[in-house]
Amino acid sequence: MVDPYCYEDTPVLRNTLDIRDEKTLDLIEAEQSRANMMLLYEQGFHDFTPEGLRNIHRFLFGDIYQWAGEYRIINIAKREKLLAGRSVWYSNDDAVADDLVAAFQDIQRQDWAAMPREAFVSAVVRCFAKIWQIHPFREGNTRTVVMLLTFFVEHYGYHMDQELLAESAGYVRDAFVMASLDQFSEYEHLERILLDAVCTNPVDYELTADVESEAQRTEKYHRDHYTPEPHYRRDN
């Protein structure tokens, strides 16, 4: 199947900079989206709807992709090492809009303000894993969902340890994979890191930098319990 998002006969996504090298595009996209995440965080955000999700994606990736903020128009699959090369079952392209409406309705039905922190994290994991599994955009879904998740957590009076999530970005994505296996979903991996990341007090990054060396912080953010076990090995 021809991917209309890519340059002909290449795996490189069409982009406003006309970059044709995949590694170069990945690097520039990562740097630009990271800078845009910082700008958006400074502005603040409170639109927890499908349109809000689209606006975040557009803000993060609009400098790179003309289709930023638009739902994908093709079905996608991504080979996952944790699933022995299989893909998560994402929403069909023609069902993305309806599936997102249902996912955000689940969020709106929760009494978030009444939940203690542990219950709040558990419910957040399940609601936002549904959004991630829909994978509404051709690229940039994890960063967009994590950005919305950060705003959501802080909207309800908590503080997100963004440095922890950034240093553990690979784990976070793997945890979303494991939480998106329908009846076989394993939510505990995402719960573990969010129980560390969702704080009742602001995170003092300057104090952390003074007290800990870079090696110590890296070790802390890659503890053994931030390594999901491949799902296909569970039965061995």
What pLDDT score does 217 carry? 43
Is residue 76 within 8 A of residue 135, CB to CB? The reply is yes
CB burial of residue 11 (10 Å; 0-12, 13-18, 19+):
exposed
What pLDDT score does 2 carry? 87
All structural domains of the chain, each given as residue ranges with its CATH number in brackets, are: 22-233 (1.10.3290.10)
pTM: 0.88
Tens-level pLDDT at each residue, the chain (236 residues): 789 999 999 999 999 999 999 999 999 999 999 999 999 999 999 999 999 999 999 999 999 999 999 999 999 999 999 999 999 999 999 999 999 999 999 999 999 999 999 999 999 999 999 999 999 999 999 999 999 999 999 999 999 999 999 999 999 999 999 999 999 999 999 999 999 999 999 887 765 545 455 444 444 434 445 654 443 333 33
